[in-house]
Amino acid sequence: MKIINYLSTVAVPMVILIIIIYGVKEKNKVYDTFLEGAKDGLNVVINIFPTLIGIFVAVGALRASGILDLIINIIKPIINILKIPAEIMPLAIIRPISGSASMAVATDIISKYGVDSTIGLIASTIMGSTETTLYTIALYTSAVGIKKIRFVLLAALIADIIGMLTSVIIWQILSKTFC
């Protein structure tokens, strides 16, 4: 265990040292190259900043407006037929939009129902098996200037839905088997 701690402590400084040695060997101006990369990184941040602001405002409005509860009430007959617990629906709706908001919702679910409850286990599995799809797509596509995201968005949302449904199915089966 001590060797792993030692390796993890020296890994980053060693990589930096290797890059510097390689740059000097190849007669590159290492510091100038670093500054050029930092400037490029700053340009990326400036380009994606409006996208981030838009997503944060939209998530805040969605949570504060009560529309989440309205959506859940509208789809309640469908989720009852599919035997999906209504308690996880706020997480299922928020997760593709925002990681921090979904973390807050998952924390609320787990603190209310417990970490070992079926609902808590489903929420945890959803957090691990899905992605903040809209955030990720908006961030990456705006960084490289892609405008047509229709098929990427559809495929990613289908993957999120499958991850969520699989989480529910697996924990419903496991909770009946082991409880």
Q: What is the pLDDT of residues 19-45, one digit of tens each?
A: 889 888 888 888 888 889 889 888 888
- To the question of pTM greater than 0.85 for the whole model, the response is no
Q: How far apart are CA 5 and CA 62, in angstroms?
A: 43
Q: 92 falls in which pLDDT band (50, 70, 90)?
A: very high
In the DSSP assignment, the letter for residue 149 is -
Helix, strand or coil for residue 89?
helix
Helix, strand or coil for residue 147?
coil
CA neighbor of 167 nearest in space, from 63, 89, 113: 89
> Tokens for 132?
């903040």
Q: How far apart are CA 29 and CA 23, in angstroms?
A: 7
Q: How far apart are CA 136 and CA 138, in angstroms?
A: 5
Q: Residue 167 in contact with residue 125, Cβ under 8 Å? A: yes
Average pLDDT over residues 123-137: 90
Task: For residue 59, count other CB atoms closer than 10 A to its CB.
Answer: 19
pLDDT greater than 80 at residue 79: yes
